[in-house]
């Protein structure tokens, strides 16, 4: 077999795995990964554009490349509609991920050897906040914020004392595990009193903020809010930063490029714009359904015999649910068993886990934002809890439960809370034909 024959054999494997993977994740499984979502077909059509092949370095209308005039106009428009929903006219869309957004802000706020105060990873901080991630890569010293296990949040009184003593250049709240809102206002006052800034990582809750069910940190004293555009905000993978501090906005803009991003994956921009317009139209209804489903799932899991974290606080006020599965074999074992049944979750550290438990932590992290966007409601949350019980508590063969999962999933194929639902409208149909 010659080189062409070998290449064709490899191409066949790539296409087969891609098609099977698409069908498996998009058609037969319950995706409960808290950091994922699905775009509407309308947004996807905008995503698959000629912008995918093009380059634009620098800021809109001040690029280092020609041929960007349409992208420039679109990027400014997208930043404006997102800013309008967040209450600011300072939005930076060029970071290609939430981690890159964090890196650009951190780099401006502190030099190597200076300090930043964050919550521990077990308490929800993202790895990019830590000495093991972006913070460490930038040479910034990590100062831990005290944590209150009972209230599952930063201990405000102790944290204020840490800030006053250590005088960090910035504090980071938010992260990758969200059950309850963080004390933004209280810590903003403390960090501002020592000349520092407060950064809020809204990667997971951007859509909930836009939908009005989660506090907007920009209104509570945050100087910058970093975010992802593919979690509760159901757009393409990417990042953004919103600001209340004009100088910080300008300084970060000079740092995103050329420090962390060259070309910023231009096809993200029209898809992000479509998703933002969908959030303007449907965001409140969608966000309300997400948090109601998360609460119902938590309550249903508890009724089925699971140890759901945060019972004394009402389980959750976000899209996430945490389950302590130590008595069921631990997070790694339970996540693998559920995957065999077509239920996709991730193992996760819980506040009482030591950092070294990351490979086999106590918990499972569950997010309902994707199944909610597919139209599932409270009755389906109860059904999901029952399916999980069959696998993890009853010990039923996962392959048999998978048949029930596939049956449930087959009833939810259409993306809701989107312009897909009005595709029959003459204007929408005409516009989509133009793409």
pLDDT tens digits, one per residue of 298-338: 999 999 999 999 999 999 999 999 999 999 999 999 999 99
Question: What pLDDT shows up at residue 355?
Answer: 78
pLDDT at 273 exceeding the cut of 90:
yes
Confidence label for 122 from pLDDT (cuts 50, 70 and 90)? low
Percent of the chain with pLDDT over 90: 84
Q: Which of 225, 205, 207 has the alpha carbon at shortest distance from 217? A: 225
Q: d(Cα 106, Cα 10) in Å, to the nearest integer?
A: 42
| Stronger pLDDT, 429 or 268, i.e. the higher one | 268
Question: What pLDDT shows up at residue 429?
Answer: 65
Do 135 and 129 touch, CB atoms closer than 8 A?
A: yes
**Three-state secondary-structure class, residue 93:** coil
Query: Tens digit of pLDDT for each residue in 35-60?
Result: 999 999 999 999 999 999 999 999 99
Confidence label for 420 from pLDDT (cuts 50, 70 and 90)? confident
Architecture of domain 45-277: 3-Layer(aba) Sandwich (3.40)
The residues spanned by each domain of the chain are 45-277, 283-419
Structure tokens at 111: 């030099």
pLDDT at 365 exceeding the cut of 90:
yes
Question: What pLDDT shows up at residue 131?
Answer: 86
Domains 45-277 and 283-419 in one fold: no
Question: What pLDDT shows up at residue 129?
Answer: 84
**Three-state secondary-structure class, residue 232:** coil
Query: What is the pTM (predicted TM-score) of this model?
Result: 0.95
Average pLDDT over residues 116-135: 84
pLDDT at 73 exceeding the cut of 60:
yes
Q: Which residues pair with 242 in a beta bridge?
A: 91, 225
Question: What pLDDT shows up at residue 64?
Answer: 93
Average pLDDT over residues 363-369: 97
Q: Which of 97, 107, 162 has the alpha carbon at shortest distance from 139? A: 107
Q: d(Cα 288, Cα 286) in Å, to the nearest integer?
A: 5
Q: 283-419 in CATH: which number?
A: 3.90.1150.10
Confidence label for 3 from pLDDT (cuts 50, 70 and 90)? confident
Rounded alpha-carbon distances, angstroms, from residue 47 to 44, 52, 55: 5, 8, 15
Q: d(Cα 185, Cα 222) in Å, to the nearest integer?
A: 8
| Stronger pLDDT, 425 or 237, i.e. the higher one | 237
Q: Which helix (H) or strand (E) holds 238?
A: strand 234-243
3-state secondary structure 106-175: HHHHCCCCCEEEECCHHHCCCHHHCCCCHHHHCCCEEEECCEECCCCEECHHHHHHHHHHHCCCEEEEEC
Average pLDDT, the chain: 94
Q: Which of 240, 278, 264 has the alpha carbon at shortest distance from 38? A: 278
Query: Tens digit of pLDDT for each residue in 143-194?
Result: 999 999 888 899 999 999 999 999 999 999 988 898 999 999 999 999 999 9
Do 324 and 362 touch, CB atoms closer than 8 A?
A: yes
Structure tokens at 375: 């139209």
Question: What pLDDT shows up at residue 373?
Answer: 98
Which contacts (CB < 8 Å, 24+ apart) does range 46-49 have? Answer: 46/270, 46/271, 46/273, 46/274, 46/435, 47/236, 47/267, 47/268, 47/270, 47/271, 48/267, 49/267, 49/270, 49/435
Average pLDDT over residues 291-299: 98
């Amino acid at each position: 077999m010659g080189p062409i024959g070998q290449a064709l054999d490899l191409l066949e494997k790539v296409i087969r795995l891609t098609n099977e993977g698409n069908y498996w994740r998009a058609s037969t499984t319950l995706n409960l990964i808290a950091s994922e979502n699905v775009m509407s077909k309308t947004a996807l059509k905008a995503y698959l554009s000629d912008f995918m092949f093009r380059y634009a370095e620098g800021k809109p209308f001040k690029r280092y490349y020609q041929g960007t005039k349409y992208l420039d106009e679109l990027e400014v428009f997208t930043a404006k509609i997102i800013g309008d929903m967040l209450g600011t006219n300072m939005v930076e869309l060029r970071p290609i991920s939430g981690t890159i957004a964090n890196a650009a802000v951190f780099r401006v706020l502190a030099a190597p050897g200076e300090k930043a105060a964050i919550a521990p990873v077990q308490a929800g901080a993202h790895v990019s906040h830590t000495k093991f991630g972006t913070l460490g890569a930038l040479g910034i010293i990590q100062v831990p914020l005290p944590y209150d296990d009972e209230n599952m949040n930063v201990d405000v009184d102790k944290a204020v004392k840490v800030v006053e003593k250590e005088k960090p250049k910035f504090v980071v709240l938010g992260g990758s595990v969200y059950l309850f809102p963080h004390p933004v206002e209280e810590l903003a006052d403390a960090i501002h009193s020592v000349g520092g800034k407060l950064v809020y990582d809204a990667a997971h809750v951007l859509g909930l903020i836009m939908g009005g069910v989660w506090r907007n940190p920009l209104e509570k004293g945050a100087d910058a809010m970093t975010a992802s555009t593919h979690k509760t905000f159901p757009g393409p993978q990417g990042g953004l930063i919103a600001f209340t501090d004009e100088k910080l906005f300008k300084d970060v803009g000079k740092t995103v490029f050329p420090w962390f991003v060259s070309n910023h994956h231009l096809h993200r921009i029209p898809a992000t714009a479509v998703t933002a317009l969908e959030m303007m139209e449907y965001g409140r209804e969608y966000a309300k359904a997400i948090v109601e489903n998360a609460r119902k799932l938590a309550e249903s899991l508890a009724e089925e015999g699971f140890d759901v974290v945060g019972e004394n606080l009402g389980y959750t006020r976000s899209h996430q649910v945490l389950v302590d599965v130590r008595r069921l074999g631990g997070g790694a074992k339970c996540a693998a068993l559920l995957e065999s049944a077509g239920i996709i979750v991730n193992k996760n550290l819980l506040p009482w886990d030591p950092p070294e438990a990351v490979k086999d932590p106590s918990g499972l992290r569950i997010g309902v934002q994707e199944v909610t966007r597919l139209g599932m409601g409270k009755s389906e949350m109860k059904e999901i809890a029952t399916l999980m019980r069959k696998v993890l508590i009853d010990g039923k063969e996962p392959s048999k439960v998978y048949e029930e999962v596939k049956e449930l999933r087959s009833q939810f194929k259409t993306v809701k809370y989107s312009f897909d639902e009005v595709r029959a409208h003459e204007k929408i149909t005409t516009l989509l034909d133009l793409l």
